Amino acid sequence: MGKTLYEKVFDMHVVRPLSEGQYQVLVGLHLIHEVTSPAAFADMRERNLKIRYPNRTFATQDHANPTTSIVRPYADAENEAQVAALEANVDEFGVRYFSPTRGEQGIVHVIGPEQGLTQPGMIIVCGDSHTSTHGAFGALAFGIGTSQVRDVMATQTLPMSKFKVRKIEVTGKLKPGVYAKDVALYIMQKMGVKAGIGYAHEYAGSVIENFSMEERLTLCNLAVEAGARCGYVNPDETTYEYLRGRPYAPKAEAWDKAVAFWNSIRSDADAQYDDHVIFAGEDIEPMVTWGVAPDQAMGIKGTVPQLADYEEHERASIEDALAYMDFKPGQKLEGTKIDVAFIGSCTNGRMSDFEAVAAFLKGRNLKVAPGVKALVVPGSQKVRAQLIEKGLDKVFTEAGFEFREAGCSMCLALNPDKLEGRQVCASSSNRNFKGRQGSPTGRTLLMSPVMVAASAIKGEVTDPRTMFEAPAAAAE
């Protein structure tokens, strides 16, 4: 009987069994950032520990830095202190740091792939739940807590139990105006945010095979929102083409060895799965969320569900979500006024995301609606530099978007980019939790970057497809 990629990679990394069902596993790549690492470093110091393999840990700053200016010290004293602590720690412990002064900084889940650090067959961890993103390369990648950050630094290992593996196939083709983000939100709407608990998700099927690496990254980014610690796609030519030539990718002879290894870890054709679900790509519409969990989502042409659609024990939570959002069962979301539009984050802050938005805006003299604050926040300084090189920053600023420095920004609002009061934000990020974007009463509608852009232009939630064939587009 064949094996899944999950089993092959897990087994290869086992150092020893610990107790029933639990193993000590080797970590191949450890990424750290300023928010979840300081207490881990303090504990290392207190316990007199050294980093066991300092060349397998890489650091950057992303959550705390402002996006208006990278000049230090940062205006917010706590943000500054957190970043300064990280910089002192990486110096003391000898960790490679992707610094803004070298133009290498960015969201940890954007720069791992960008630098070629993220590779198939690795076990990758980071003190951040969206580490699942890196699974796009056929790695087992998952978020850990601060105590585990310390354990990985001290031992390069973690205690782990095996997950079950669920294959999620998306067959056929996507319709125009439907993006990887919509696929992820659709899967969640169908399966719920608890479906993935105890599972690793293997994404397969023609839609996913035809996805670019960046689309796979968006999909795997949201695996964790479906409850799965990790999600992955089997590596293939698309993966290798993306990796070739990146700074940390294998070179020359090592490249051939690497490709042979990567091919060997793909799930076998006769691998057994603990569960298998299939969705048809053609069924997927552009998606938008109406509630305070990412599975509280619907097709843009749909209506907010009725309480009767839910089991009795779930209704209180649904009512609570609707009260918070101020939506009613049965209403449409198209036409809902928005105050803020945010394009960025580790879900949708990569080149292809901004290129799709720029293609939508370009040459049509579209302007952000009056009263709407619209932000374009690149996922990394390299993405930002490329956008400028291609002149796309101008496309955004001419349309009335602010073009910011790289970072997490309003995905989590640890820096000064925040919603105010009950503002409604059309957001390309990944969490619509209560208070997530910096105001305890702020409201988040998750959607694809192109839908965010369309909504920014109209000043209300808008199906981007209704704007695709505007005659002015021909003027290009």
Partner 1 sequence: MSNEASRGAAVSQVSGRAIPLTGNDIDTDRIIPARFLKAITFEGLGENAFADERASAKAEGRVHPLDDPRFAGGAVLLVNKNFGCGSSREHAPQALRRYGIRAVVGESFGEIFAGNCIAVGMPCVTVSAEAMGALQDVAAAETGSECSVNLETKTITFANQQFPCEINEGARRQFVEGRWDATDVLMQAGDAIGKTAEKVPYFGGWA
Choose between 70 and 81: whose C-beta lies nearer to partner 1.
81
Is residue 268 helix, strand or coil?
Answer: coil
| Residues 348 to 407 in contact with partner 1, rule: CB under 8 A | none
Q: Which of 45, 433, 466, 470 binds partner 1 (CB under 8 A)?
A: 433
Q: Which range touches ligand SF4 (CB under 6 A), out of 97-105, 160-168, 355-363, 407-415?
A: 407-415
In this structure, the dihedral spanned by the alpha carbons of residues 8, 10, 12 and 15, taken in order and rounded to 10 degrees, is -160
Is residue 15 helix, strand or coil?
Answer: strand
| Residues 83 to 112 in contact with partner 1, rule: CB under 8 A | 85
Categorise residue 168: left if φ over 0, alpha if ψ from -120 to 50, beta otherwise. beta
Q: Show the site string, 180-219: x = touches partner 1 by CB under 8 A, - = not.
A: -------------xx--xx---------------------
Choose between 254 and 280: whose C-beta lies nearer to partner 1.
254
| Residues whose CB is less than 8 angstroms from the CB of residue 302 and which lie 6 or more positions away in sequence, other chains included | 285, 332
- Closest distance of CB 418 from ligand SF4, Å: 13
Q: Which of 52, 332, 367, 394 binds partner 1 (CB under 8 A)?
A: 52
Q: Is the separation of the CB atoms in 105 and 67 below 8 Å? A: no
Interaction between residue 13 and partner 1 (CB under 8 A):
yes
Choose between 62 and 215: whose C-beta lies nearer to ligand SF4.
62
Q: Is the separation of the CB atoms in 277 and 168 below 8 Å? A: yes
Choose between 292 and 411: whose C-beta lies nearer to ligand SF4.
411
User: How many CB atoms are located within 10 Å of the residue 380 CB?
Assistant: 29
Residue 15 binding: pick among partner 1, ligand SF4, none (C-beta 5-8 Å cut-off by kind): partner 1
Interaction between residue 435 and partner 1 (CB under 8 A):
yes
Choose between 14 and 385: whose C-beta lies nearer to partner 1.
14
Interaction between residue 411 and ligand SF4 (CB under 6 A):
yes
In this structure, the dihedral spanned by the alpha carbons of residues 268, 284, 410 and 96, taken in order and rounded to 10 degrees, is 20
Q: Which range touches ligand SF4 (CB under 6 A), out of 47-55, 209-217, 296-304, 408-416?
A: 408-416
Question: What's at 17, amino acid-wise?
Answer: P
Q: Which range touches ligand SF4 (CB under 6 A), out of 333-341, 351-359, 404-412, 417-425?
A: 404-412
Looking at residue 106, the DSSP 8-state letter turns out to be: B
How many residues belong to the site for ligand SF4 (CB under 6 A)? 13
- Peptide bond before residue 440 is cis, with ω within 30 degrees of 0: no
Q: Is the separation of the CB atoms in 107 and 346 below 8 Å? A: yes
Q: Name the H helices within 76-195.
A: 77-93, 108-114, 146-155, 180-191
Q: For CA atoms 433, 437, 438, 440, give the dihedral sign.
A: negative
| Residues 116 to 145 in contact with ligand SF4, rule: CB under 6 A | 128, 130
Place of tokens 């996913």: 208
Is residue 234 helix, strand or coil?
Answer: coil
Q: Show the site string, 48-77: x = touches ligand SF4 by CB under 6 A, - = not.
A: --------------xx--------------
| Residues 131 to 170 in contact with partner 1, rule: CB under 8 A | 131, 142-148, 150-151, 154-159, 161
Interaction between residue 346 and ligand SF4 (CB under 6 A):
yes
Residue 238 binding: pick among partner 1, ligand SF4, none (C-beta 5-8 Å cut-off by kind): none
Rounded to an integer, what distance in angstroms lies between the CA atom of residue 235 and that of residue 258?
Answer: 12
Residue 335 burial (10 A CB sphere; 0-12, 13-18, 19+): exposed
Q: Which helix (H) or strand (E) holds 39?
A: helix 38-46
Nearest to 223 by CA among 53, 372, 109: 109
Q: Which of 62, 128, 182, 353 binds partner 1 (CB under 8 A)?
A: 128
Task: Give how far Cα 406 sits from Cα of 68, 117, 384, Å.
Answer: 9, 19, 7
Residue 161 binding: pick among ligand SF4, partner 1, none (C-beta 5-8 Å cut-off by kind): partner 1
- Closest distance of CB 446 from partner 1, Å: 13
- Closest distance of CB 446 from ligand SF4, Å: 12
| Residues 84 to 113 in contact with ligand SF4, rule: CB under 6 A | 107, 109
Q: Which residues bind ligand SF4 (CB under 6 A)?
A: 62-63, 107, 109, 128, 130, 345-346, 408, 411-412, 429-430
